[in-house]
Amino acid sequence: MTGSSCQRDGPVVTKRWQPPRGARGKAKCEKLARVSRVLVVEDEAHIRELIQLHLGLEGLDVEAVADGQQALVRAGSDPFDLIILDLMLPGVDGISICRAVRREGPNQDVPILMLTARREESDKVLGLESGADDYLAKPFGIRELVARARALLRRPRRSQLQAAAVPAGERPVEIHGLHIDPARRRVRVKGIDVDLTAQEFRLLHVLATHPGIVFSREALLTRVWPDHTFVTERSVDSLVKRLRRRIEKDPANPEIILTVWGSGYKAADV
Ligand code: CA
């Protein structure tokens, strides 16, 4: 086995496949503005390599992993345009991965194509309920897989539709493990809902939508209390303290809402 081949004995196989130069011509006529990234999660080496090869020939940037744990790590840290996910995997199974990806991280609305064995009749329902977008039973023809993958990549993402429909000030913000959804007035810290008062929410939203920008106490007063007759700049300090207790891991050593001595406050740079 050569160095470029995949290890069959290691617990996890991760490699990025790039099509050889000559092969890129095929994808030229349908070249996208940006090369789509695909994560393939499949423990059977020959299927994994087949998918990698053919999606690579389509001009896609393909990364493949062989076990569930590694899939969670990759899907939790980098955004992909498509995930092809085998149901039966060592470690964490495909359904659990699907649910975890949908729950949090950068791939919550990524299209997921689930691969299963044909005899597992209930997989289709299970797979779709878990948040998969499409399903392909093994053994499948590679042309069909490529066609399904292409169809999923063409489908507009939920986040794109939402972004087009929602005014900028109401778009959800992701920053330092926080998910802030102004339309629903909801905040999640590492996936867990946190209750904030209207003032706490406004303060967080102002700072989080301008990371790294310092706001004076006076500037925050006018934004957080539109009718600020009875509040003073000290009120901003108390509000910051309360907000930190809600969202910071250690409110005494904040990592998200930072004090800028002599100036005011800012959200930490991203
Ligand atoms: Ca399998």
User: Token pair of 145, please?
Assistant: 């897989």
Helix and strand numbers (H, E) in the chain are 10, 13
pLDDT band at 20; cut points 50, 70, 90: low
> What is the CA(138)–ligand 1 centre distance, in A?
10
Flag whether pLDDT at 51 surpasses 60: yes
pLDDT (tens digit, 9 = 90+) per residue, 180-228? 999 888 999 988 999 999 889 999 999 999 888 889 998 898 888 877 6
> What is the CA(86)–ligand 1 centre distance, in A?
6
Flag whether pLDDT at 11 surpasses 60: no
Which residue is associated with the tokens 């070249």?
Answer: 31
Listing DSSP states for 238-253 in one string gives HHHHHHHHHH-SSTTS
Query: What's the pLDDT at 53?
Result: 97
How many whole angstroms separate alpha carbon 68 and alpha carbon 87?
Answer: 10
Sequence-ordered alpha helix ranges (H) in 108-267? 123-129, 142-154, 158-165, 198-208, 217-224, 233-247
> What is the CA(1)–ligand 1 centre distance, in A?
23
> What is the CA(153)–ligand 1 centre distance, in A?
23
> What is the CA(133)–ligand 1 centre distance, in A?
19
More confident residue, 3 or 130: 130
Q: Among 58, 105, 55, 104, which Cα is nearest to 84's?
A: 55
> What is the CA(12)–ligand 1 centre distance, in A?
13
> What is the CA(44)–ligand 1 centre distance, in A?
6
Flag whether pLDDT at 46 surpasses 60: yes
User: Token pair of 236, please?
Assistant: 């901003």
Q: What is the average pLDDT score of the chain? A: 83
> What is the CA(15)–ligand 1 centre distance, in A?
18
> What is the CA(93)–ligand 1 centre distance, in A?
9
How many whole angstroms separate alpha carbon 82 and alpha carbon 101?
Answer: 12
User: Cβ neighbours of residue 184 under 8 Å, at least 6 residues apart?
Assistant: none
> What is the CA(43)–ligand 1 centre distance, in A?
5
Alpha-carbon separation of residue 127 from 101, 137, 253 (angstroms) = 13, 11, 43
Please state the rounded mean pLDDT for residues 37-58. Answer: 97
Flag whether pLDDT at 48 surpasses 90: yes
Kindly report the pTM of this predicted structure: 0.52
